[in-house]
Structure 1
Amino acid sequence: MTQLQRILPDADLSGAVAVLRSAHGTVAQQFGFTQETNPTNSAFIDAETLRGQLEKGIELYLMIEEGNAVGCIAIEESQTEVETFYIEKVSVVPDFRNRGLGMELMNFAASLIKERGGKHIGIALINEYEKLKAWYQRQGFREILVKEYPHLPFNVCFMSKEI
């Protein structure tokens, strides 16, 4: 059985950092990202950077299974769009993938967003990551926009879902 616990900025962030680095490390490897080519990727995150994000209002939830940190998810309320929240950092460590934990994380986040009056969920991902894009589409997300950012080595796909 899994548990989700909110990680506050003053907490020990080592478990969350380990999950993010492990989960996103496989993606970085798949796409050839390095700390030099994509320094903001979660594969290269450190506790100081994560703490700064938490202090700015991102809520991070760590998934624990049998005492092990196996995944995490973050939500953030939009400052510009009414009734809109963003889901970020959807992560499951490689050894625990394909067990439905990612879907469990997404359902948890959607329920929390709905409880807070959210009606729209937005996500952003690597546009070229077709497998992940299809996974989100199966959950009802639709592609809104693909945008190029000069500082990123990939295009960003923005997706949205009504809840």
Structure 2
Amino acid sequence: MEFIRVSPGNDLSVPVKVLQEAHRTVAEEFGFTKETNPTNNAFIDETTLRAQLEKGIELYQLNENDIAVGCIAIEKSKKEEDTFFIEKVSIIPKYRNQGYGIAMMDFAARTIKDRGGKRISIALIDSNIWLKKWYTNQGFTETEIKDFPRLPFRVCFMNKPV
């Protein structure tokens, strides 16, 4: 397993494909389209990802035997000094349930700890019960549920100490 940091100057076609393919299943499950949920990673393009990278998110691509199987992003909170966000947790469907998701979360937690982070925050679709349980099993606790007018779902926020 190898984690490669993706930079905005790189060819972003592979991480974009991973994000799209991994999030397509969620978009289909919840009935999202580009029109109803344009910020969903199932619909991300290279221009959007490049802009996000230029604004400071760190995206890591997980490769197994030179094949991209997943991605994960880390972003430092601008409001809370010791808090980092984990975003874009993405595993291509045929590689799911093989430990890659946990490996990515462990990698992100170590990276955050090395940077002096004391808390990890995540946000997810509140009605995604399976995913909420997956995060809970890793030590995350629910802190807030919030509605955003631009999103067709409620957002669940969860935190975990590093």
TM-score range, shorter chain: over 0.9
Indicate the residue corresponding to 2:50 in structure 1: 51
Letter in 2 for 1:21: Q
Q: Verify: 1:3 aligned to 2:8, yes or no.
A: no
Indicate the residue corresponding to 1:126 in structure 2: 125
Indicate the residue corresponding to 1:28 in structure 2: 27
Q: Give the length in aligned residue pairs.
A: 162
Q: So what's the TM-score if we normalise by structure 1?
A: 0.99
Q: Verify: 1:12 aligned to 2:11, yes or no.
A: yes
1:66, distance to aligned residue in structure 2 (A): 1.5
CA distance in 2, matches of 1:67, 1:110: 23
Letter in 2 for 1:150: P
Gap runs ≥5 in structure 1: none
CA distance in 2, matches of 1:111, 1:86: 13
Aligned-pair Cα RMSD in Å: 0.4
CA distance in 2, matches of 1:37, 1:67: 35
Alignment of 1:1-163 (within 5 A): 2-163=1-162
- What do the CA deviations read for 1:90-128 (whole angstroms, capped 9, x no partner)? 000000000000000000000000000000000000000
Q: Secondary structure of 2:131's partner? A: helix
Provide the identity percentage. 59
- What do the CA deviations read for 1:107-160 (whole angstroms, capped 9, x no partner)? 000000000000000000000000000000000000000000111110000000
CA distance in 2, matches of 1:110, 1:47: 26
Runs (4+) off by over 6 Å: none
CA distance in 1, matches of 2:66, 2:107: 19
- What do the CA deviations read for 1:31-67 (whole angstroms, capped 9, x no partner)? 0000000000000000000000000000000011112
Gap runs ≥5 in structure 2: none
